[in-house]
Structure 1
Amino acid sequence: MSNYDALTLKLSLREKFAYGMGDFGSNLMLCIGTLYLLKFYTDELGMPAYYGGIIFLVAKFFTAATDMFTGVLLDSRRNIGAKGKFRPFILYASFPVALVATAQFLATEFPLVVKTVLATALFMLFGLFYSLMNCSYGAMVPAITKNPHERAQLAAWRQGGATLGLLLCTVAFIPIKSLITWSSSAGYLLTALLFSLCGLFSMWWCFRGVKERYIQVLPEGHKPGILKSFCAIFNNPPLLVLCIANLCTLAAFNIKLAIQVYYTQYVLNDIHLLSWMGFFSMGCILIGVLLVPASVRRFGKKQVYLGGLFLWAAGDLLNFFWGSTSVLFVAFSCVAFFGTAFVNSLNWALVPDTVEYGEWKTGIRAEGSVYTGYTFSRKISAALAGFLPGIMLTQIGYIPNIAQSSGTLMGLRQLMFIWPGGLAVIAALTMSLFYKLNEQRFASIIEELSQRKKFTEEQENLNSKEKVSTVNI
């Protein structure tokens, strides 16, 4: 296929939908832990909040390493079968992800130390299998299409799927759990099982519906490794800037998700408001996701990304100062989450562009190393985002299932709005000042890569003819 054909190839709506189902399924299994696992630890297992923070910190640092391992594994593949380079991991790793995601909500009567060790081990095991599944899913985009607009659409479909998964977890988890009246801990377990099964079938749908068209293997003699995955970050300036910005945005997003269940219960005195907030704010995210492709075509990825960060920070600051009622809380949350739609969608649209940049700069195309180098920064961010709420809940004096003090309530408000809003501002400054890979430069890089490939093929053909002539002589 020519360079022009590759850059203009249009994907079918069916394939885009299938790709979106991948992040819908993975988020069903991931977000039940992000949203409710800390509360399960504190309220059902009786752990101190800082124990939960330490569990998140240890397990997420471990899964950051497993992401790098996944990148090495993907780039090491030589014998690519009919299922492709990335799709087999989506198929085979999704089952243990669903199994462990459910097992994390199993309440036991063990001593606190044993509970903590078991919870840490399960969280680490979840991270291992989730890395194999989700890193392969994300790294697959350059193999699906080279068209930058189609990549932006895939990112939008991915974010749409992720948003729907998060929406269902936010809106439906607590009401479904509440239907199981005989045991609160059984409610957590059975609801987690339901969400995990739905996530599993969604991942299988993604596997069947997408196609890898541009499969490349690393040249002989190039051995991928963990160190090279780090080098993929530091030798690739656009990727490094994106990692730093993403470190801020993902930490902000995960802190907000972890704290919102406490905030609605103790500050607004209505835990069921979480479902309403989730319904309206995730609806705003879906609207934002639908607007991403058209916005990118008109303004470019970087400008749309920065606009999303501005809305995010503005919504959080408005909520901190004036979101004292349920209506205003939901309204300002909608503004912030509408902004996150553009940010989170374009995080995934920008990463594939850095693959071509890395190939252009180094001569080596390594989707796995680039993508997992990027997800390494996301896991470090998630580790901090999981650690900080647990530690801060202890610092502000949180005690489960009682009326909280005024100092604790102010601490919850700061964790919910000031920290995420501040991190969004830092991300905006980072991208604004240092990210230089715009659409025009990307197009020139693709053209130069095409010319290099054409030249290499001509040289190989010439060498082949010379060998034939030598044999004939």
Structure 2
Amino acid sequence: MDATETHAATQKNDQAPRTVTLRNKIAYAVGDMGNNFLFDMGQLYLLNYFTDQVGLPSAAAGTVFLVAKIWDAFADMGVGTWIDNRTNISKRGKFRPFLLWAAIPLAMLLIANFTTPNFSVTGKLIWAYVAYMLFGTCYSISNVPFGSMIPTMTRNSQERSELASWRQAGSNMGLMLATIGFMPIVNSMTNEGTGYTIAVVVFAVLGVAAQWFSYANIKENYSSPAKAKINKKDLKASFKALLKNKPLLTLSIVNLFTFSAFNLKLTVQVYYCKYILQNTTAESLLGVFSIGMVFVSVMLAPLLTKRFDKKYVYMMGCAIWAIADILGFFFANNTFLFVFFTAIAYLGDGFTSALNWALVSDCVEYGEWQTGIRSEGMVYSFFTYFRKLSQAIAGFVPGIILAWVGYVPGKTQTATALMGIRGLMFLYSAVLSIATIILMYYAYSLTEKRYGTIVSDLLKRRGSERIEPAGGR
């Protein structure tokens, strides 16, 4: 479909009423900023905390991530099924209350991950497994409902893209502040281990405040009657419907690629700054410039999707990402070039991140159109199942590779170890970005033109649906 056809299809899809206020969008962004204050501590610093502070072998520490994230993936599916089939839905909505209920337990479990008792190595590993798996389960209870809300907030395609961009802006603000602010707090303490704990407490408190602000200022504009109690036959039919949703399957697989690449970069950049650049302040610079570049793509994404199909904007982002990382592998030998090439890579990644939530919302409509079964929570949790698998890979692969190349915590690294760190930082993500382009081009069929037809058909089937006035509760 050419740009003119895409533009016409997009305009048609935008005819659905706009139901989200600026206040709602800001609150949705702040909610994901809070999610990232709580979540990114594990992705950014926990592996390094395990290896350099707790003293766990790198392969064993990486295995903690593998096992915990696979557990989380199944937890997401369970939470999604539970949410979709809740029968006691209050005036607060189907999804919003989970932001209120889960915030405090989530913060406490995050702190527990960075306060490992002085046990034996075996005892420390047991603590790491239990604390991280409980944290992941609680995070699923908070995050699956949060991500499932977009289809209940608006039916307007462009407004969904805007909400996805606002969400990504909040996510990146959380990541930026975590990257900039965490290590200075750690380094200000005489004991680095204590510094980790204090820094985590600070971000945990901020995360709870952000999630509660989000809860108070977002709204589910589309509501439906509570479902009758689910039976095994209906549940089986819902899972079969997910497996028939080819756009959802494709989007989930490419997220396995892109999200593992993104999270692996977050994990490895600590080692890259410390051992290749020998400049720990580079991580704060990376937060300012690299994560800052994601805001550029987040602002550009809604503008580009007005003219071009979301699918092709997504692929364009991956192309930028791959080129920047290939160049970074060969030339990022000092702080300036490292930050420069990583910033361009994050610019490309920002397009994929900004559009993921709009695309998965489109997959909800596609699934209902195809099978007659609408299940926002299950679709979202199926999608996040693959994202959790990607996080498992992102935590496991560095630990295994670091052990394989002979990494020794706190020591001068061998040339082989340094090359392993460099390859993890750049080549892994470049290869997976290219794989994403290929898969999206050949397998993702939900274009704007097709989506417009699907929405029209669904509206005819539904006849009418209740829309509550936009605004906060």
Normalising by structure 1, report the TM-score: 0.93
The answer to whether structure 1 residue 301 and structure 2 residue 333 are counterparts is no
How far has the Cα of 1:222 moved from its partner?
5.2
How far has the Cα of 1:107 moved from its partner?
3.3
Letter aligned with residue 305 of structure 2: V
What residue ranges of structure 1 are gaps of 5+ in the alignment?
458-473
Match of 2:78 in 1: 69
Letter aligned with residue 171 of structure 2: A
Question: For 1:355-370, what aligned pairs fall within 5 Å after superposition?
Answer: 355-370=364-379
Match of 1:107 in 2: 116
3-state SS of 1:397 partner: coil
Distance 1:129 1:215 in 2: 25
The answer to whether structure 1 residue 292 and structure 2 residue 301 are counterparts is yes
Name which of 196, 199, 210 aligns with 1:191. Answer: 199
Match of 1:207 in 2: 215
Question: For the structure 1 residues 275 and 192, does the alpha-carbon distance in structure 2 shift closer, same or farther, using more than 3 Å as the test?
Answer: same
The answer to whether structure 1 residue 128 and structure 2 residue 153 are counterparts is no
How far has the Cα of 1:456 moved from its partner?
11
Match of 2:427 in 1: 418
Question: For 1:152-163, what aligned pairs fall within 5 Å after superposition?
Answer: 152-163=161-172
Letter aligned with residue 429 of structure 1: I
Distance 2:304 2:13 in 1: 23
Match of 1:468 in 2: none
Match of 1:466 in 2: none
The answer to whether structure 1 residue 451 and structure 2 residue 452 are counterparts is no
Match of 2:51 in 1: 42
Contact map agreement 2:14 2:157 (CA 8 A) in 1: no
Distance 2:344 2:464 in 1: 51
How far has the Cα of 1:11 moved from its partner?
1.9
How far has the Cα of 1:217 moved from its partner?
5.0
Match of 2:402 in 1: 393
Name which of 311, 318, 328 aligns with 1:319. Answer: 328
Question: For 1:147-186, what aligned pairs fall within 5 Å after superposition?
Answer: 147-181=156-190, 183-186=191-194
Question: For the structure 1 residues 136 and 455, does the alpha-carbon distance in structure 2 shift closer, same or farther, using more than 3 Å as the test?
Answer: closer
Contact map agreement 1:153 1:293 (CA 8 A) in 2: yes
Distance 2:439 2:242 in 1: 16
How far has the Cα of 1:272 moved from its partner?
1.1
In the TM superposition, what whole-angstrom CA distance separates every residue of 1:16-52 from its partner, at most 9, and x where no partner exists? Answer: 0000111100011111110100011011110000111
How far has the Cα of 1:274 moved from its partner?
1.0
Match of 2:267 in 1: 258
The answer to whether structure 1 residue 59 and structure 2 residue 77 are counterparts is no
Question: For the structure 1 residues 263 and 5, does the alpha-carbon distance in structure 2 shift closer, same or farther, using more than 3 Å as the test?
Answer: closer
Letter aligned with residue 273 of structure 2: T
Distance 2:235 2:381 in 1: 10
Distance 2:269 2:130 in 1: 26
The answer to whether structure 1 residue 409 and structure 2 residue 427 are counterparts is no
In the TM superposition, what whole-angstrom CA distance separates every residue of 1:63-108 from its partner, at most 9, and x where no partner exists? Answer: 1111011111111112321110001111101111111111110032
Match of 1:467 in 2: none
How far has the Cα of 1:261 moved from its partner?
0.3
Question: For the structure 1 residues 161 and 4, does the alpha-carbon distance in structure 2 shift closer, same or farther, using more than 3 Å as the test?
Answer: closer
Letter aligned with residue 296 of structure 1: T
Contact map agreement 2:56 2:121 (CA 8 A) in 1: yes
Distance 2:154 2:94 in 1: 14
Letter aligned with residue 99 of structure 1: M
Contact map agreement 2:241 2:373 (CA 8 A) in 1: no
Match of 1:278 in 2: 287
Question: For the structure 1 residues 198 and 455, does the alpha-carbon distance in structure 2 shift closer, same or farther, using more than 3 Å as the test?
Answer: closer
Paired positions, count? 454
Match of 1:19 in 2: 28
Greater RCO between the two (CA within 8 Å, min separation 6)? 2
Contact map agreement 1:22 1:203 (CA 8 A) in 2: yes
Match of 2:91 in 1: 82
Identity of aligned residues (%): 41
- Once the two structures are overlaid, the 10-residue window that deviates more, 126-135 or 445-454, is 445-454
3-state SS of 1:110 partner: coil
How far has the Cα of 1:229 moved from its partner?
6.0
3-state SS of 1:44 partner: helix
In the TM superposition, what whole-angstrom CA distance separates every residue of 1:108-159 from its partner, at most 9, and x where no partner exists? Answer: 2101111100111000000111001000000011010001111101100110
3-state SS of 2:114 partner: coil
How far has the Cα of 1:249 moved from its partner?
0.4
Contact map agreement 1:177 1:188 (CA 8 A) in 2: yes
The answer to whether structure 1 residue 340 and structure 2 residue 352 are counterparts is no
Question: For 1:369-388, what aligned pairs fall within 5 Å after superposition?
Answer: 369-388=378-397
Contact map agreement 1:232 1:373 (CA 8 A) in 2: no
Contact map agreement 1:6 1:147 (CA 8 A) in 2: yes
3-state SS of 1:107 partner: coil
Distance 1:269 1:65 in 2: 39
Distance 2:238 2:430 in 1: 31
How far has the Cα of 1:215 moved from its partner?
2.1
Greater C-alpha Rg: 1
In the TM superposition, what whole-angstrom CA distance separates every residue of 1:315-338 from its partner, at most 9, and x where no partner exists? Answer: 100100111122111111111000
Letter aligned with residue 354 of structure 2: S
Letter aligned with residue 312 of structure 1: W
In the TM superposition, what whole-angstrom CA distance separates every residue of 1:290-317 from its partner, at most 9, and x where no partner exists? Answer: 1111111111211110110001111100
Letter aligned with residue 83 of structure 2: L
Match of 1:465 in 2: none
3-state SS of 2:214 partner: helix
Distance 1:455 1:117 in 2: 54
How far has the Cα of 1:281 moved from its partner?
0.6
